[in-house]
A and B are shown apart, each in its own frame.
Chain A
Amino acid sequence: MTESPALSIEHLVVLYGASVAVDGVSMTADASKVTALLGPNGAGKTTTIEVACGLRAATSGTVRLLGSEPGTRAVSQRIGVMLQQGGLYPTARPLEWLNYLANLYTNHADPSELLELVGIDPSTRTTTRRLSGGEQQRVKLAAALLPNPEFLILDEPTAGLDPLARRNLLEALAARRDSGTSILLTTHQLSDVETLADHVVVIAGGHVIAEGTVAELTGANDAMSFTGPPRLDLARLAGSLPSNFRAEELRPGYYIVHGPPSPQVMAAIATWCAEQGVMATDLAVGRRTLEQIVIDAGSDQS
């Protein structure tokens, strides 16, 4: 049995007046998986997310969330959302905010327990505007988790969090995913993606430019890379590797070795470099890092 995706977006176009924010995005987010939406600023990530939440209308294209049109009440009962900017009442206390929201959902978690889970004292009388940025972020997460959502939509959930708070949040999200929640998130913290994402969609300039697992995108199954002085003799390098491997200088001083990575081949590359008296810095599995993918996407976009 093939499960239909929790979110499917086909040929989504969103125009703001004359400017094109999203220009034909097609993507899916599978059930019980974490899908990460990556891309430079202005790529169209937040707009795509807002259409999925039902906050913004598509100019054209189709979006199905949990089998329905986004924004309907039936769907909004089943999703949890964390917006990038704001989403809290500045003068409200965390517990009263969640207690109010609980009135809106037919099925919801216990507000006090949820606040404890995210590390906010439920009995605090501090109003939201006096909480630190990280604490506000955690209240927003609690609000997103309140409806026991089947689908979580998180726009930069780790922004403004210190490393410990970030790790806790990622662990909480992984636990939700493992108990069946589907998650779509955007982030600029690429280590979050490596830790958590089952599927990555890279968008730039309103288009999807790459899609796959982290390993597929970085080429972790079919390439290795290292940095060294420019203009190494690659024919000789290839000669010292098994015959199905091929070496290439992608940019001056940045080398790719095409072929399935293995400990033996990694060692062979390091040995060959040592014989040349060359320091192979950043010897790594994969063609390029996620960071490089996003940087390349950004320079293509501008």
Chain B
Amino acid sequence: MTGVTRVRAHAGWELRLLLRNGEQILLMFVIPIALLFALRIMRGGEIGEQVPTVLTVSLIATCFTSLAIGTGFERRAGALKFLATTPLSRLDLLLGKALATGVLAALSVAALAFVATIMGWRPDIDWFGLGAFGILGGGAFAALAVLLAGALRAEAVLALANGIFVLLIVFGGVVFAATDMPPAIGTVVGLLPSAALADGLNAAVTGGTLPAGGLLVLIVWGAAGAVLARRTFSWD
């Protein structure tokens, strides 16, 4: 059994359980697509401005909320502790989770892009920018999810992961851009990973200039989350 086999087996295992779970499907596919319709109806205007917003929501839902809640409950069930006694190492487990989360994120982005295209979306995609912001943003939120899931009780993780998700969407520079806020508030909100991801994705699919500062924000959040999670993560 090579590490690759174990990582692939674990990613497959997580995907199998996740894709069977109705709440996950709701969070990853239904909510973002419903949000796109809601924005179209309430705001009207250009679909090109709304798709990046919804892509951000979808990525945060998959990489942060869903991952945190899932990991929190696996930890409470003692499943992670048991796996630690098997040949699956902690690194294998984390890589497997990362792979499963990446596949889910790609699936939800593809589903959203498909629906948006039907609705008339004609993006001007900078693939490098999309990849860089997607991976660094998804990675930063995944690190924060693991940090949260490894430190608190499962019920607290559930409440916080949902609460933070809603707060970031509404006040974190996603639905309302940080650049449209009063300058003092906008500067602070712009340092949140949600705003950095939203701005970056927006630039990447509308042919805008990639905000280098936003990439830096995501790298800092991701690195801080990973370092703290490494110190504080408890397997039981």
Asked if A183 lies at the interface with its beta carbon under 8 angstroms from chain B, I say no
- Residues on A with beta carbons closer than 8 Å to the beta carbon of B85: 53-55, 76, 79, 81, 83, 153
Residue in contact with B1 in the complex, picked from A54, A55, A90, A104, CB distance below 8 Å: A104
One digit per residue, 1 when the CB lies within 8 angstroms of any chain A CB and 0 when it does not, for chain B 2-38 equals 0001100110110011001100000000000000000
Q: When the two chains form their complex, are residues B1 and A106 in contact, meaning their CB atoms are under 8 A apart? A: yes
- Nearest residue, chain B, Cβ from A78: B87
One digit per residue, 1 when the CB lies within 8 angstroms of any chain B CB and 0 when it does not, for chain A 86-106 equals 111111100010001101111
Q: Which of B69-84 contact A (CB under 8 A)?
A: 73-74, 76-79, 81-82, 84
Q: When the two chains form their complex, are residues A105 and B87 in contact, meaning their CB atoms are under 8 A apart? A: yes
Docked complex Cα distance between A199 and B235 (Å): 31
- What is the minimal beta-carbon distance from B8 to any residue of chain A, in angstroms? 8
- What is the minimal beta-carbon distance from B131 to any residue of chain A, in angstroms? 30
Number of interface residues of B (CB under 8 A): 27
Q: When the two chains form their complex, are residues B77 and A90 in contact, meaning their CB atoms are under 8 A apart? A: yes
Residue in contact with B20 in the complex, picked from A54, A76, A91, CB distance below 8 Å: A91
Residue in contact with B17 in the complex, picked from A54, A77, A91, A106, CB distance below 8 Å: A91
- Residues on B with beta carbons closer than 8 Å to the beta carbon of A153: 85
Asked if A179 lies at the interface with its beta carbon under 8 angstroms from chain B, I say no
- Residues on A with beta carbons closer than 8 Å to the beta carbon of B79: 86-89
- Residues on B with beta carbons closer than 8 Å to the beta carbon of A77: 87
Q: Which of B30-89 contact A (CB under 8 A)?
A: 73-74, 76-79, 81-82, 84-89
Asked if A143 lies at the interface with its beta carbon under 8 angstroms from chain B, I say yes
Docked complex Cα distance between A55 and B9 (Å): 22
One digit per residue, 1 when the CB lies within 8 angstroms of any chain B CB and 0 when it does not, for chain A 117-156 equals 0000000000000000000000000010001000001000
Known: A81-B82, A104-B9, A105-B1. A88 touches B77 (CB 8 A): yes
Q: Which of A44-70 contact B (CB under 8 A)?
A: 53-55
Q: When the two chains form their complex, are residues B88 and A104 in contact, meaning their CB atoms are under 8 A apart? A: yes
Docked complex Cα distance between A89 and B92 (Å): 18
Asked if A85 lies at the interface with its beta carbon under 8 angstroms from chain B, I say yes
Known: A92-B17, A103-B6. A83 touches B82 (CB 8 A): yes
- Residues on B with beta carbons closer than 8 Å to the beta carbon of A236: none
Q: When the two chains form their complex, are residues B1 and A83 in contact, meaning their CB atoms are under 8 A apart? A: no
One digit per residue, 1 when the CB lies within 8 angstroms of any chain A CB and 0 when it does not, for chain B 159-176 equals 000000000000000000
- Residues on B with beta carbons closer than 8 Å to the beta carbon of A86: 76-79, 81-82
- Residues on B with beta carbons closer than 8 Å to the beta carbon of A104: 1, 6, 9, 86-88
- Nearest residue, chain A, Cβ from B89: A73
- Residues on A with beta carbons closer than 8 Å to the beta carbon of B81: 55, 83, 86-87
- Residues on A with beta carbons closer than 8 Å to the beta carbon of B1: 103-106
Q: When the two chains form their complex, are residues B5 and A103 in contact, meaning their CB atoms are under 8 A apart? A: yes
- Residues on A with beta carbons closer than 8 Å to the beta carbon of B89: 73
- Residues on A with beta carbons closer than 8 Å to the beta carbon of B21: 91
Q: When the two chains form their complex, are residues A87 and B78 in contact, meaning their CB atoms are under 8 A apart? A: yes
- Residues on A with beta carbons closer than 8 Å to the beta carbon of B236: 85
- Nearest residue, chain B, Cβ from A73: B87
Docked complex Cα distance between A88 and B76 (Å): 10
- Residues on A with beta carbons closer than 8 Å to the beta carbon of B88: 104
- Residues on A with beta carbons closer than 8 Å to the beta carbon of B82: 81, 83, 86-88, 143
Q: When the two chains form their complex, are residues B84 and A55 in contact, meaning their CB atoms are under 8 A apart? A: yes
- Residues on B with beta carbons closer than 8 Å to the beta carbon of A147: 86
Known: A85-B78, A87-B79. A76 touches B86 (CB 8 A): yes
13 contacts between A and B (CB under 8 A): A54-B84, A55-B85, A73-B89, A81-B82, A81-B85, A86-B78, A88-B78, A88-B79, A88-B82, A89-B17, A101-B86, A103-B5, A147-B86
Q: Which 9 A-B pairs have the closest CB atoms?
A: A86-B78, A87-B82, A103-B9, A81-B85, A100-B13, A87-B78, A53-B85, A76-B87, A104-B87
Other contacts beyond A55-B85, A104-B9, A143-B82: 14, CB < 8 A: A73-B89, A76-B86, A79-B85, A83-B81, A86-B79, A87-B82, A88-B78, A90-B73, A91-B17, A96-B16, A100-B13, A101-B86, A105-B87, A147-B86
